[in-house]
Amino acid sequence: MEISLTFTRTQNRGGESVVFLHSIGTSGWIWGDQQQALSDYDCIIPDLPGFGRNNHIPWVSIKETARVIATLIEKNANGRQAYLVGFSLGANVVMEILANHSKVVRRAVVSGLNVLPVPNRLLKEAAQFLISPFMKSKIMMENNAHKLNIPDQKFEAYSSSVQQLSTKAFRAANREMFLYHLPENAASIQTPTLAVAGGNEHDLVLESIKRISSTLPYATGYIMPFAEQAWVLEKPSVFSDMLKAWFKNYPLPDHLIPANNSLTMDGALEGSSVKK
């Protein structure tokens, strides 16, 4: 039986299509600012299985979700292709689409994607499992929103999406993210791919940006200095400008720095080369 996902779509049905995939613990609402900023595009924003309006659909796997999203693109996107943007869990799904269904993707953006082994994985998995029953409590949501630097005006939407999610889907998807690594055929992926992260994200994510950009032949990596993981919400205009530039193959906003550079404590740049 084919899975049919509920999704939001902009009124501009004539433009090139962009599909946005949200992070774990949220839903499609996080892309509201980008949807407005990219009004020239046909924006398609689904909730992933187990999340948001699709919380009744079981989460199976990242690979299966990639297949479902690829089918959604083939059936709904203009020209049966789309620009693909994924954040956190959505980025995992994007990478699997690039590996197995690349014909539906024009260009891709992955933000906050870890592809490296997680130290003390079993301990961290156990901790996530133990706290998951409490993740819908107000104090837990407020704490997570603070860690992610989610703007106050976005908290209500964030809270609503947490209340909607399936705890079972959250646990299953979270475990897959802990185990995730680059697909075996990553070095053969031909789709132009931009890997990005906030400068304050975990070191594993920052190192993953370098791994992705050095493995995929048409990938490049950039960092948004001093930003948190959810910089799509924290700095929406920069994120949107980055997307517009990447889709058109224009230079990226000056705010971003190449991932093979680093920021010292006083903010000085180190490193000079950037992969094109």
The DSSP bridge pattern shows strands 17-21 and 82-87 to be parallel
Looking at this protein, which amino acid is placed at residue 266? D
With bands split at pLDDT 50, 70 and 90, how would you rate the model's confidence at 82? very high
Whether the pLDDT of residue 276 is over 80: the answer is no
Give the pLDDT confidence of 178-212 residue by residue, as tens digits.
999 999 999 999 999 999 999 999 999 999 999 99
To 10 degrees, the CA torsion angle through 205, 172, 181, 66?
-100
Whether the pLDDT of residue 78 is over 50: the answer is yes
To 10 degrees, the CA torsion angle through 228, 90, 256, 266?
30
Higher pLDDT, 183 or 274: 183
**Hey, what CATH class is 7-270 in?**
alpha beta
With bands split at pLDDT 50, 70 and 90, how would you rate the model's confidence at 272? very low
Whether the pLDDT of residue 45 is over 90: the answer is yes
pLDDT of residue 270: 40
Task: For residue 246, give both structure tokens.
Answer: 């990447």
Percentage of the chain beyond pLDDT 70 is 94
Q: What is d(CA 229, CA 111) in angstroms, rounded to the nearest whole number?
A: 8
Q: What is d(CA 47, CA 5) in angstroms, rounded to the nearest whole number?
A: 7
Task: For residue 175, give both structure tokens.
Answer: 């475990």
Give ∠ CA 47-52-56 in degrees, rounded to 5: 95
Q: What is d(CA 29, CA 70) in angstroms, rounded to the nearest whole number?
A: 21
pLDDT of residue 1: 64
Whether the pLDDT of residue 135 is over 60: the answer is yes
Does the pTM of the predicted model rise above 0.85? yes
Whether the pLDDT of residue 262 is over 60: the answer is no
Q: What is d(CA 42, CA 166) in angstroms, rounded to the nearest whole number?
A: 29
Percentage of the chain beyond pLDDT 90 is 79
Q: Is 69 helix (H, G, I), strand (E, B) or coil?
A: helix
Give the pLDDT confidence of 117-133 residue by residue, as tens digits.
998 888 877 887 778 88
Domain parsing of the chain, residue ranges: 7-270
| DSSP state for residue 165 in the 8-state scheme | S
Q: If you average pLDDT over every residue of the chain, what do you get?
A: 91
Which residues does residue 223 pair with via DSSP β-bridges, in sequence order?
197, 257
How confident is the model over 236-252, as a mean pLDDT?
98
Whether the pLDDT of residue 275 is over 50: the answer is no
Residue 251: burial class (beta carbons within 10 Å; 0-12, 13-18, 19+): exposed
The alpha helices in the chain, defined as continuous H runs, are 32-37, 62-76, 89-100, 121-131, 138-148, 155-164, 167-179, 203-215, 231-234, 236-248
Q: Is 92 helix (H, G, I), strand (E, B) or coil?
A: helix
* Whether the Cβ atoms of residue 193 and residue 110 lie closer than 8 Å to each other: yes
